[in-house]
Structure 1
Amino acid sequence: MLLVPCPYCGPRPEVEFHCGGEAHIARPADPSALDDAAWAEYLFIRKSPKGVHAERWLHAHGCGRWFNALRNTISDAFIVSYEMGQPRPDLTRQGDK
């Protein structure tokens, strides 16, 4: 079973969580100024990299809080999790992958 590291509750089974997609997506400052193509891109186009990816997660059957996590999409391993509002950790400075 995959353990997801909730920054509030610690490692918990994956069945307690829901993935919320890519993390750190900035909402447009003036959405009404976007044309349909730009609005559709904001809503639907997401990165899907092979390797380390920042994602949002909800601990739905636990503390009920959202958090961000860096996960390797190749191995499915969680590298680090962190509270919403915190910047994405710089793995190159930490000597990680």
Structure 2
Amino acid sequence: MLLIDCPFCGKRPEVEFHCGGEAHIARPADPAQVDDAIWAEHLFVRKNPRGLHAERWRHLHGCGQWFNALRDTYTDRFVETYKAGEQPKHPLTETRA
């Protein structure tokens, strides 16, 4: 079983967590001034790289906190987890040769 290192609770089984998609996406400063096409892109268009990728995760069946993780989508290995609002220590390289 895959263990995910919650920055609040420590290592727990993957079944306790839920992925919330791509991390570090800034909401438009004034959503009322954004047209439908840009708003739709903000809501639905996400990167889907093969390799290292920053994602949001929630410890749903634990502390309930959201946090970020660097996960390799090719190997499913978690490289690092860190609290929301922080930046990863590991350099983010999103594509694999």
Q: TM-score, normalized by length of structure 1?
A: 0.90
Post-superposition offset of 1:42 = 0.3
Separation of aligned partners in 2, 1:40 and 1:78: 30
After alignment, is 82-91 or 67-76 more displaced? Answer: 82-91
The CA RMSD measured in Å over matched residues stands at 1.1
How far has the Cα of 1:88 moved from its partner?
3.2
TM-score, length basis structure 2: 0.90
Residue 30 of structure 2 is matched in structure 1 by 30
Alignment of 1:2-81 (within 5 A): 2-81=2-81
Which segments of 5 or more consecutive residues in structure 2 lack a partner in the other structure? 93-97
- Alpha-carbon distance between aligned partners in 1 of 2:73 and 2:52, rounded to the nearest angstrom: 6
The amino acid of 2:78's aligned partner reads F
Give the partner amino acid of 1:81: T
The Cα shift of 1:89 comes to 3.0
Contact 2:5 2:11 in 1 (8 A): yes
| Secondary structure of the structure 1 residue equivalent to 2:43 | helix
What is the CA-CA distance between 1:90 and the residue it aligns to? 4.0
Q: Percent identity?
A: 65
Matches of 2:77 and 2:90 in 1, distance apart?
17
